[in-house]
Amino acid sequence: MVEDLKNSQKIKIYTSNGGSFAHCVLRLRYNISTDDYNPWNTSAMPAADSPVKQNPTVDSGADLQGLRLAINTNQFGRTFQDRSHSFYIRSRPASVPGLAGATIHNLNVRGKRGNIVEVYPAVEYDFVPNRFHMNDTEFVHIQWTGSNTHNNGQPQGDGQAGDSGQGTTGTDRSNFVQLRFLNDSFPIPLDKYVDLSLFGKASFYRLEGTTLGETAAALHLATSGYFSDPLAVPATTDGTDPLEATLNNASPSLAGGVLFRVTEPGTFNYMSTRNNAFSNRSQKGSIIIQKK
């Protein structure tokens, strides 16, 4: 994909850590328009003779009888939403065994902070996809984005004002820990249920191609990248924990993410401890691995 972008001569290609990056911008607009007039050659400037008038009275064609149209020029040809997103597309790391030509599934996070009423018409936090099938030759690229400046206050806009949830108000966080069964609420400790462990049956890689061991990968995903090396986790003697338990001081985004391939068939369930609230909010998912 990076080569295609490079050939288009519209996107600059960057090189870093042995990989190529394409910086891309996606713009989404929701607007209402009409073809009653030529929008490209019509001006709203005061000196222009615009065919669009506020509540105009027009000839109805019935004996010159004038009829008024309910046209609000503030909402005629109006853009309601304009969203821009900046992101990078990276070339595949050449050092990851079996990655060349393999299918890569993107595992991400969707939704926003709040209860079902506060987030309407969007959704509460969820993994996407939250259930998918793949074979043992395919890879998963897990990544997510969050925020330290989430704002669902007044004016409320869509839904209701408020951001019900765990952790510091106004922040978005996610993490990834494994469950024994999908309807469980407690994650699997790494030293138990070894036969069900995703981390024990998968090979994990950073995006630059270096490997992550079982414990390091589990730690990296559980803490949203706050810790990646088990040997670097400080041992405290006063009972304090450098990582706040609801991830308030962790990174809001898992930038770059992690690649992994599960080499044994099975069903592996997972959740976010930050956002999964028993009985009223569920951020869970399942990966089903089959032999090719």
At residue 182, φ and ψ (nearest 5 deg) are -65, -30
Rounded to whole angstroms, the Cα distance separating 20 from 102 reads: 18
pLDDT in tens, 164-191: 899 998 899 999 999 999 999 899 988 8
Q: Greater confidence, 137 or 87?
A: 137
Angle (CA) 204 205 211, round 5°: 90
Q: Greater confidence, 134 or 8?
A: 134
Where does 33-130 show beta strands of DSSP type E? 57-59, 66-68, 78-90, 104-110, 126-128
Contact 181, 292 (CB under 8 A): no
Lookup: tokens for 18? 């042995």
CA-based torsion, 46, 48, 49, 52: positive or negative: negative
Strand pairing class (284-290; 131-135): parallel
Q: Cα dihedral angle (92, 96, 101, 106), rounded to 10 degrees?
A: -60
Lookup: tokens for 246? 């609801």
- pLDDT in the model for residue 159: 62
Rounded to whole angstroms, the Cα distance separating 50 from 87 reads: 39
Lookup: tokens for 201? 């049956």
Lookup: tokens for 197? 């462990």
- pLDDT in the model for residue 156: 61
Interval 265-289 mean pLDDT: 92
- pLDDT in the model for residue 263: 87
- Reduced to 3 states, what is the DSSP secondary structure of residue 3? helix
Q: Give the chain's mean pLDDT.
A: 85
Rounded to whole angstroms, the Cα distance separating 128 from 70 reads: 43
- Reduced to 3 states, what is the DSSP secondary structure of residue 139? strand
Confidence band, pLDDT 50/70/90 cuts, at residue 10: low
- pLDDT in the model for residue 253: 94
Highest mean pLDDT (candidates 30-39, 47-56, 152-161, 274-283): 274-283
- pLDDT in the model for residue 44: 65
